[in-house]
Structure 1
């Protein structure tokens, strides 16, 4: 249940710049009735004044006992200078945890952690863009795959739906599976112990692709046209996809960018769509054979689809960020790939924000569908009441 809360000066009560020769201590507060240990938050560079010659990379984050935590430096404005430190605190129910910025000595090192939050463009498999963390993996499809489909060439793909890669290991698999693909294109469709890709997208929305509804019809974009990788590391990956304008009935939809974040231990990717030409967009979950169970929680602003999948079960879900939920709709069709559970999202100031993800029973990440839906309910509560970081000296 991860969420990066960028709490800058105006959002952090009592924060001021202090010299680096004085430890910067802060607390993270949790107002909810359950422990939180899977959210990634950011300490902004404004908390400290760097001495001449220092960089943010000279500092780590330690707990009250002085133990250094796993962190990730981030460059939010993409100017090639780190301007924040991400970390993943454990905070008790209705409680607080204390931490401090620690200047690293010559012999001190940040705890090593593999790059589990990873994403990249994949030209060796046409032109996918794939991303993953320690729980889930996804991919979307680019312009070459679209062109191949439109020209009738084998191997083409025309969809802006989101594909799920069903992994059941915590280490990264993207590069490994694509490497196997190069020698055997069917390799990652077979479970060799790490999981497999047996999730069908087709022309559907897959797990979270968007549509615009006009006169009771749903219209969708084509494949992404370009990409930009923003970050990857032990705690977060982020990237942007761009799309050409597309038609929705009499309207032209300009989807300028789709920014996607995935944090460590989260089942759900955060998706921010920047769009003009529509007051609402609809994020969809494909219903495949229409043999599963749709659950809608309007209070929590989420919809989930629990379905038989191969010899197991799969649950996909969509969850609106606070302020964007406008309802839901289930659309059944006899045409292949056109049955969906939709989440209706308001476009506020040119954007809509939602989360999309899944759990696969074979991964062992949840005991059952009830536990999965509790996860979604708690995830929604965390978005509504984020962890608060406050300086205490």
Structure 2
């Protein structure tokens, strides 16, 4: 991958050239081990910056650089502020590591006064979209998503054309590896073209309505699933070459007398078809994440022991797979919920909250026309491998 020769730093997506000659002495060696029998890539390793021993890490005296010891070349990395205090505290990178092997990396500070900074486009990107009512959209090199805000909800409630009332997750079917969100919105809003037409990059033709789309949540009471309305506020945490992350907050919603609060922390890493959802919930100890069944013409797949559900269906002139993976054995059941009510038929995975009151799961899709997955078997194999990698994360050590 050509991008492995670049080093991207921090929220601004900068990389530094010529740093090999100007690096500070190495403070730490990082060793990453793959215990599985398969090669690993596009998996994110995170290291606490405090553990690297840099008093001024990420500050005025230097920027963190990670060197692959085998090639002596810098690899792609990103520093993030994981706790929201305004200071970067974690560095992310994605090693390509063979089965049953270990890789070594040297960590140093580049001399920021000598390094040349070059602007770069964040490959993992999200933003609020006020020009299209008030969407929130996010993407990486493989997939794109969006969901809807309070103005879109009010338009529906006031019977104004163009609104959307849904906390479901929409899928934008891209088939290129470069960013398309800004380009597609501009195409839709400022030209005679439309993102509903595929001119080579993909299109928006995935119907969400009031369904759960690709990973929206609901709570069942009796024979009915209840869910929130549109998000009420948003906060983008960061974009970058490795990960984008943001938080969506929702008004409290009623589930047959239970008052449920919901705050979604969503992130998407480079190379992944699945967004990570960490949802803080109050008012229940279980929640259900769903996949829309559309016209119920597809095929479901479920493995509760592995913690995944899947729906592969025909989609216009192609096919699409939807999936949810629940880690840590927290999937406690599932249901294929079918009803005559429009957009309310969904395949649900029931999720037990962690001790911290959060439901954690991964949800996303694979579109056949993107050539990433050509059939149901390939899609479900991806979900199986994804689940196995969550159970066997890359082992990181320092010495």
TM-score (norm 1): 0.91
Pair 1:61 & 2:66 matched: yes
Q: Cα deviations across residues 74-104 of structure 1 (Å, max 9, x unaligned)?
A: 1112222211211100121122111110332
Is residue 67–residue 105 contact of structure 2 (8 Å, CA) maintained in 1? yes
Residue 43 of structure 1 corresponds to 47
Residue 243 of structure 1 corresponds to 250
Residue 195 of structure 1 corresponds to 202
Aligned 1:119-130 pairs, distance under 5 A: 119-130=126-137
Aligned 1:39-118 pairs, distance under 5 A: 39-51=43-55, 55=59, 57-64=62-69, 65-105=71-111, 114-118=121-125
Is residue 28–residue 97 contact of structure 1 (8 Å, CA) maintained in 2? yes
Aligned 1:213-362 pairs, distance under 5 A: 213-255=220-262, 257-349=263-355, 350-362=357-369
In the comparison of the two structures, how many residue pairs are matched?
A: 372
For the residues of structure 1 that align with 2:252 and 2:64, how far apart are their CA atoms?
44
For the residues of structure 2 that align with 1:112 and 1:372, how far apart are their CA atoms?
36
Q: Cα deviations across residues 340-367 of structure 1 (Å, max 9, x unaligned)?
A: 1101001223111011100000101124
SS in 2 for 1:290: coil
Residue 5 of structure 1 corresponds to none
SS in 1 for 2:387: helix
Is residue 68–residue 110 contact of structure 1 (8 Å, CA) maintained in 2? no
The structural deviation recorded for 1:379 is 0.6
Residue 180 of structure 1 corresponds to 187
Residue 34 of structure 2 corresponds to 30
TM-score (norm 2): 0.89
Pair 1:391 & 2:398 matched: yes
Aligned 1:131-170 pairs, distance under 5 A: 131-170=138-177
For the residues of structure 1 that align with 2:143 and 2:363, how far apart are their CA atoms?
11
The structural deviation recorded for 1:27 is 0.7
The structural deviation recorded for 1:112 is 7.6
Q: Cα deviations across residues 145-202 of structure 1 (Å, max 9, x unaligned)?
A: 0000000000111010000000000000000011112135870001011000000001
Is residue 268–residue 355 contact of structure 1 (8 Å, CA) maintained in 2? yes
Distance 1:52 1:160, change over 3 A: closer
The structural deviation recorded for 1:111 is 9.3
SS in 1 for 2:231: coil
The structural deviation recorded for 1:47 is 2.5
SS in 1 for 2:126: strand
The structural deviation recorded for 1:46 is 1.9
Is residue 120–residue 229 contact of structure 1 (8 Å, CA) maintained in 2? yes
For the residues of structure 1 that align with 2:55 and 2:145, how far apart are their CA atoms?
42
Is residue 70–residue 112 contact of structure 1 (8 Å, CA) maintained in 2? no
Residue 381 of structure 1 corresponds to 388
For the residues of structure 2 that align with 1:54 and 1:202, how far apart are their CA atoms?
44
Distance 1:57 1:194, change over 3 A: farther
The structural deviation recorded for 1:21 is 3.5
The structural deviation recorded for 1:368 is 2.5
SS in 2 for 1:225: strand
Q: Cα deviations across residues 278-307 of structure 1 (Å, max 9, x unaligned)?
A: 121111101001100000012211011000
Unaligned runs of 5+ in 1: 1-19
Is residue 312–residue 320 contact of structure 2 (8 Å, CA) maintained in 1? yes
Is residue 69–residue 111 contact of structure 1 (8 Å, CA) maintained in 2? no
Is residue 73–residue 82 contact of structure 1 (8 Å, CA) maintained in 2? yes
Question: Considering only aligned residues, what root-mean-square deviation do their CA atoms show, in Å?
Answer: 1.8
Residue 12 of structure 1 corresponds to none
Is residue 70–residue 110 contact of structure 1 (8 Å, CA) maintained in 2? no
Distance 1:123 1:158, change over 3 A: same
SS in 2 for 1:32: coil
Q: Which range is displaced more, 237-246 or 314-323? A: 314-323
For the residues of structure 2 that align with 1:72 and 1:81, how far apart are their CA atoms?
13
